[in-house]
């Protein structure tokens, strides 16, 4: 299979389709992004790296960063982590408060906003300098020392983050947030503001295709058993209430962000990142979803 040829063919096809979707305009800074941007980059375990379009341009990865904060928390806490956050698909929007009442403050999974807030709280309780330590972790994974938070995007999110404030305070009243909500929210908004390119993302996430071990430096970040569980969570919960659709059409573990990015993993093979800022009704990249569906269909390289 000539992956480069397949990517070129699918990219051209998807890039020609009618523009659909909308920018995440509820975050003021994301409303200013050029809606026509489109990039893709693949990194394989065999050493191939290939990108097309705007694959070198940095964008706000938003909820994709929740996988990274989860990996760091899981590295430290192991199985205790799952006492505070579940592993089930939510079936509701990423910022829903509905299930927290019924589940008494235990979020359904780590990738909805409520779950990511609990993970942020865990990191605050276990790291000496959470913001610095998370960046150090991500920089170590990628070998890229330029990875950083965007104060512009974090401030933009804070200015409209009322629902996340409600989520954090609601979880706090059940005792599942241990730190002060203001501190948790400050850290959460920063971790969602990280900016990376498709090229950065595919290289960074390749360890999840490699049994938890980095390609650069051969460092074991997560045990294979933990890596399997992170991939399983991405497969079942990585796209909010469109996770079943992504599994059905694409057939890979993955994670989306409202900045228009998607990272997808084929264990034992590759990591592929796509960026197109216009989102469908569920908050996932319209072109990104189309690209990955066509790519895995044409290449016959999904996990199924």
> What residue spans define the domains of the chain?
3-62+196-299, 63-192
CATH, range 63-192: 3.40.710.10
User: pLDDT (tens digit, 9 = 90+) per residue, 142-200?
Assistant: 888 889 999 999 999 999 999 999 999 999 999 999 999 999 999 999 999 999 999 99
pLDDT of residue 96: 80
pTM: 0.95
Mean of pLDDT over the chain: 94
| Higher-pLDDT residue of 91, 9 | 9
Q: What whole-number distance in Å separates Cα of residue 107 and Cα of residue 115?
A: 5
Q: What is the pLDDT of residues 54-110, one digit of tens each?
A: 999 999 999 999 999 999 999 998 788 999 999 999 877 777 888 898 899 999 999
Q: For the purposes of burial, counting CB atoms within 10 Å of the CB of 205, is it exposed (0-12), middle (13-18) or buried (19 or more)?
A: buried
Is there a common fold for 3-62+196-299 and 63-192?
yes
Please state which CATH number belongs to domain 3-62+196-299. 3.40.710.10
What is the distance between the alpha carbons of residues 285 and 264, in angstroms, rounded to a whole number?
Answer: 13
Mean pLDDT computed over 128-153: 92
- Cite the annotated binding site for substrate by residue number: 63, 113, 157, 164, 188, 240, 258
| Angle between helices 151-160 and 181-192 in degrees, nearest 10 | 130
The 10s digit of each residue's pLDDT in 209-242 is: 999 999 888 899 999 999 999 999 999 999 988 9
Give the residue numbers of the binding site: 63, 113, 157, 164, 188, 240, 258
């Amino acid at each position: 299979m000539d992956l480069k040829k397949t990517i070129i063919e699918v990219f051209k096809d998807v890039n020609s389709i009618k523009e659909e979707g909308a920018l995440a305009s509820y975050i003021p800074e994301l409303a200013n992004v050029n809606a026509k941007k489109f990039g893709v980059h693949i990194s394989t375990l065999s050493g191939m790296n290939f990108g097309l379009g705007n694959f070198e341009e940095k964008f706000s990865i938003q909820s994709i960063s929740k996988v990274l904060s989860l990996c760091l928390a899981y590295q430290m806490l192991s199985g205790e982590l799952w006492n505070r956050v579940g592993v089930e698909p939510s079936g509701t929007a990423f910022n829903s408060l509905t299930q927290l009442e019924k589940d008494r403050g235990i979020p359904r999974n780590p990738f909805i906003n409520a779950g990511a807030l609990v993970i942020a709280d865990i990191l605050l309780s276990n790291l000496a300098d959470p913001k610095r330590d998370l960046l150090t972790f991500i920089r170590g994974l990628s070998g890229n020392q330029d990875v950083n938070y965007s104060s512009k995007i974090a401030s933009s999110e804070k200015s409209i983050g009322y629902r996340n404030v409600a989520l954090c305070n609601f979880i706090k009243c059940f005792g599942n947030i241990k730190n002060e909500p203001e501190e948790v929210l400050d850290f959460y908004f920063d971790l969602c503001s990280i900016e990376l390119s498709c090229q950065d993302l595919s290289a960074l996430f390749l360890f999840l295709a490699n049994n938890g071990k980095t390609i650069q430096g051969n460092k074991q970040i997560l045990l294979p058993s933990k890596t399997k569980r992170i991939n399983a969570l991405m497969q079942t919960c990585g796209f909010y209430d469109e996770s079943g659709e992504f599994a059905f059409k694409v057939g890979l573990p993955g994670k989306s962000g409202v900045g228009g990015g998607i990272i997808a993993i084929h264990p034992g093979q590759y990591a592929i990142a796509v960026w197109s800022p216009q989102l469908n009704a569920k908050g996932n990249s319209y072109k990104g979803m189309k690209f990955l569906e066509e790519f895995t269909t044409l290449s016959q390289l999904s996990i199924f």
